[in-house]
Chains A and B, each alone.
Chain A
Amino acid sequence: MTPAAFSYHAPSTLSDALRLLEDGSAMPLAGGQSLMPTLIARAIAPGAIVDLNRIQDFPDVELEPGRLRTGALVRMQQVIDHPDIAQNLPLLHQAVSHIGHRAIRNRGTLVGSLCQLDPWAEVPLVACALEASLLIAGPSGPRQARFSEFAAAPNRPLLAPGELVVAADWPLWRPEHGAGFSEVARRPNDPALACAAALILLDENRHIQRAVLAIGAVCPLPIRCHQLEALLVGKSADDLRAITTDMIEADLSGHVIRDDALADAAYRRHLAPIVAARAVEQAVSRAR
């Protein structure tokens, strides 16, 4: 099919872009790997497309003490190639290599995936695990939002009309931490059926000092497994019991389990403890 007609704008500054986005029927276009298929299928019909790709104002990849900032036009492939990210954010680095294929990653942006909030997406899962925050610009001025607030509903970020995400901030864990990521998909780089991200920090006795476990693709949004995290703290890294279905159930209870053409709810429920265990195991093995 072909898109419905729209007017096209390619501003070169952020302020020009914001002005154009004040039109309620205007949509921003960055990587386009999610937007274009819906536009072509006429599932959406915006009156205007505001192409962000010529804007020079966005930050690029900026490493600061305690956090790494990625601007709105940082591409997925850049995340894989960038040495600062591989070194300081191994979880993000690992997760992004599961995404799409090179041609998709060359265009698709990190921030775009955060705004898209696809239930199966790896980047929102990592943002959930790392407690990332979004820098947002808009008619009421700049603001910062925690990912957990921003991710209001699948495919529906909490953004006021005319607002635009300018960058994402990723808190860094200490260098000794171990990151683990596990995904089950039909094939490598297909949409995840279930995925898990784990972060582990050990104390000097190799006991778990801090644990984060987030599960994605199973529920409409990524979820943190706080109860399981609490169980893990204090355990010895060399004596971890397997994560069983019951342990995960406590954290999954109260959440909708996704059921769609790729996998039914029963299979996702079945996969959740498996990816969780694999991610935790990997994180523990990498923690120093």
Chain B
Amino acid sequence: MTTQGSALWPIGARLSRVEDEPLLRGQGRFLADLKRPGMLHARFLRSPIAHARLQSLDLSSARAVPGVIAAWSATDLLGRLALSRLPVAMPGKAVRGPADPPVLAAEEICHIGEAIAVVVADTPFAADDGVAALRPLFDPLPVVADPQAALDPGAPLARAELKDNLIAAFESGYGDVEAGLKDAPIRITRRFRLNKGAAHSVETRGVMAEPDPVQPDGLILWSSTQMPHRVRAVVAATLGMPELSLRVIAPDVGGGFGPKFVTYPEEVVIAALARSLGRPVRWIEDRAENFVATTQERLQVWEVTVAANADGSLRAISGTLVQDCGAYLPYGLTVPQNASTNLLGPYRLPAYRLSVRCAATNLVPVTPTRGAGRPQGTFVMERMLDAVADAAALSRIEVRRRNLIAASDMPYRTALQTRDGNAMIYDSGDYPACLEQAVSAATALGFGQRPASSPDTRMGVGVSCYVEGTGRGPFESARVRVDPAGQIEVSTGAAAQGQGTATVLTQVAAAVLGVSPASVVIRAGDTAAVPHGLGAFASRQAPVAGAAVRLAAEAVRDKALRVAAARLEVAPSDLEIVDGVVQIVGVPGDGIALADIARALCGMPGFPLPAGEAPGLQADIAFEPPGLCYANGVHVAEVEVDPLTGQVRVTRMLVVHDCGVALNPTLVEGQVIGGTLHGIGMALHEEVLVDAEGRIRNAPYPASVVPGAWDAPKINVLHRESPTPFNPLGAKGAGEGGTIGAPAAVIAAIEDALRPLSLALSELPMTPARLAARIANARP
């Protein structure tokens, strides 16, 4: 009935968020805010050393501390687990060795912060006292602290069970790269180093578990997680309990950004403790722990050669990528896989080959943070294009014009496959028009014309283009139900981490059902809401969960119309729903309220249901997107550089962003602005500094690496809409695009500001110290 992409209020409206009021009042319910009667407090003993044999651990000193109820090591857990390792491996042939993390480290400790034991007490103080009383003894083993060194022949093993540290290897590519490279008029090789970073959400992790008061042998687990259904699957399997007996709930989550979609050992341990002790147990991660117990991202070293024609058009890209994976693979190879495919960007690239080697090291395990490897692939492509532009004496904008995929080529079938084996197809988007819009908007705003604020500083402008595969499947679930009071209940496997998921889903349901948003209630982040679900990652809540909700709401609407039509003796096509009342089109009054229809479908014992319908005014849908839908955008960055100190300030940013139909433009802008600042942080400051012993040198200070209010430029956001054909909303994901394109634009802008020095900046973050050193080396 409603055509895809057409605005049906409040889809597309700048609705204020339904989440806001309790959060503003301080009535949010984050993990650390949850309390249960008789709750115990857990603390973990973590390794201060990156690689060692655990020689001995005497728990009696902890057990003797007043207030301590229990202390467990891996040995104590053994009898309580069906599996000693978390079954988190992802399908695929690239992984070459065991990579699942243990629940508690038993004999070999493989990264700093790895959990060795847990102490449970009646107060957090006593739990810390218990951990402080423990004196583990370690036999140090050689530390593998660098992925390249890890892959050198004869390097010590990061984990004794491995044959070597090459934990995974794969190739991405297509076409005749040799032909492309041969005799190319322009041929440039660059190395890139993208240093380790982390998500640093302001809320750390936490887990609470309690025996289910209603279900015998049941357990309720709360976790600050982005993927409750996956947590349920992994924890149930590890504990050897049926999934039916385990309910996992994500409360309000204070930012996820990736690492909170990993399932962690702590979730298993806390569940096991609650089960065994028969009492609620809660663990709150502190900031220092967050630096070593929550996953991190990157360290990537690339060596890439680009070949182009004299007119700047690309011929081939060939290269290698060494990816640090840390000690285990709790979430597969997403980062290098996405980096390798996203390198293509919105460009025509005739031939491509990237050889990826993933190293096991004694560092904290690597999983995606915002952008999930795409910012890195985009960064490499954008920097190579800038190098081609300089070599071809073209402007950096012109070189992009000459390589962008044309609108008439859409949908554009690249020759790559995504990790699920499907062809990577860009479904919709007008990349050249997006670039032109960005260029003219930035020009109109005076980018590049603003004078420096002092005689010693220099201004510069940089541009980057990106694409992002969003709406990752394989599915998301939604149940829409109208209850007899007329309230619309939307249950979904979607999970929120602050992006306004509930608001967007409310808008979709309200639009389709013709009700006020106030009568919609969203149940998300709870495995009891729907039997199957995935959750929040890869910019998918709007396109996948939103689509599921739309389809379910349409099914409910169609059912309501059928029932009403039978009662009113008209055709369903003669009816509409206005303010929750089904009425004849244009004839208010004399309608039937949805609540009445819902009541009728509840059934009375012995009486038939209306019109041969199934019970309940509800529908369950699992939406399976046919493929990733590709958002795209252009970032223009204006920076001010102090060549003396190397300090860089991003003064302004412009982002032209296309996420298809924007379900709530205000929320989309919020994601683009927040994501862009996140990317600026990646470009200039974000780095987890690791020493040769695998210890983190700049823990536990997130403030030194995360952008603050003084780092935040004015970010102008312009929307474009290229609806996707892959879901009935026409919407694409919006959560990560800001991050994906920002780093390349910022670095390009720095090079522009220092143009006479012809710097080729290829390391992230480009901290003041690094930039000052590069400037000093470049000066004659």
Contact = CB atoms under 8 A, between A and B. Distances in A.
Interface string B636-664: 00000000111100000000000000000
Question: Which size bracket describes the interface of B in this complex?
Answer: 20 to 34
Contact of B645 (A42, A184, A190, A261): A184
B698 interface: yes
A5 B772 contact: no
Contact of B697 (A3, A41, A261): A261
A267 B773 contact: yes
Interface string A36-59: 000001100000000000000000
Contacts of A29: none
Contacts of B769: 263-264, 266-267
B444 to A, nearest CB: 30
Interface in A90-119: none
A261 B124 contact: no
Interface in A44-95: none
Contacts of B768: 184, 186, 267
Nearest to A270: B772
A4 interface: yes
Contacts of A274: 644-645
B352 to A, nearest CB: 37
B776 A42 contact: no
A247 interface: no
A262 B772 CA distance: 15
Contacts of B698: 261-262
Interface string B697-719: 11000011000101100000000
Contacts of B445: none
B128 interface: yes
A41 B699 CA distance: 12
Interface string A175-194: 00000000010111011000
B82 interface: no
Contacts of B644: 274
Contacts of A41: 288
Residues of B contacting A: mostly: helix
Nearest to B127: A2
B125 interface: yes
A266 B773 contact: yes
B685 A270 contact: no
B132 interface: yes
A190 B125 contact: no
B286 interface: yes
A35 interface: no
Please indicate which of the listed interface residues A4, A186, A271 has the most CB atoms of chain B within 10 Å of its own CB: A186
B129 A1 contact: no
A1 B773 contact: no
Given A264-B769, A267-B773, A271-B645, A42 B711 contact: no
A226 B195 CA distance: 41
Contacts of A246: none
A188 B710 contact: yes
24 contacts: A1-B128, A1-B286, A1-B288, A2-B125, A2-B128, A3-B125, A4-B129, A5-B125, A184-B647, A186-B685, A186-B704, A186-B768, A187-B708, A187-B710, A188-B710, A190-B703, A191-B704, A260-B697, A263-B769, A267-B646, A267-B768, A267-B769, A267-B772, A270-B772
Interface of A: 1-5, 41-42, 184, 186-188, 190-191, 260-264, 266-267, 270-271, 274
